[in-house]
């Protein structure tokens, strides 16, 4: 019975939470776009460090060990996510490269 109730309530909860999260991301995106490239680079490094630390503190194992082949530990979904992110980054860079310079 718990599983049925959870499966019915989960979409009702996830929908509004997703909407609120996307609105916050839009506002954050506008703020990030206004920052200098140096600030953006430091932000990426801090986010990567923070996520790694959060995983460590919560006990989530990072599948790569020093002597292991890290790529062998990735599943198909993780590889798709990385490729998708790389494509998005590349397209964003291409879009910015083709923009005419702003007049000062």
Q: Which two tokens stand for residue 20?
A: 């609120």
Q: Is residue 16 in a domain? A: no
How many percent of the chain have pLDDT more than 70? Answer: 78
Confidence of residue 64 (pLDDT cuts 50, 70, 90): low
Q: Is residue 21 in a domain? A: no
Q: Is residue 47 in a domain? A: yes
Name the residue range of residue 42's domain. 33-62
Residue pLDDT, tens place only, 73-95:
667 777 787 788 778 777 877 77
Q: Is residue 103 in a domain? A: no
Q: Is residue 91 in a domain? A: yes
Contact call for residues 63 and 73 (beta carbons, < 8 A): yes
Query: What integer pLDDT is reported at residue 63 of this predicted model?
Result: 60
Q: Is residue 22 in a domain? A: no
Confidence of residue 31 (pLDDT cuts 50, 70, 90): confident
Count of domains observed in the chain: 2
Host H or E run for residue 26: helix 2-33
> At residue 100, does pLDDT exceed 60?
yes
Place of tokens 């923070």: 50
């Amino acid at each position: 019975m718990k599983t049925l109730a959870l499966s019915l309530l989960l979409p009702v909860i996830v929908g509004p939470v997703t909407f609120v999260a996307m609105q916050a991301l839009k506002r954050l995106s506008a703020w990030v776009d206004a920052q200098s490239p140096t600030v953006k680079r430091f932000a990426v490094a801090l986010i990567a460090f923070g996520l790694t630390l959060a995983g460590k503190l919560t006990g989530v194992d990072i599948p790569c060990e020093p002597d292991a082949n890290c790529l062998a530990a990735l599943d198909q979904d993780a590889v798709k996510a990385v490729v998708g992110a790389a494509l998005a980054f590349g397209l964003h860079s291409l879009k910015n490269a083709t923009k005419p310079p702003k007049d000062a």
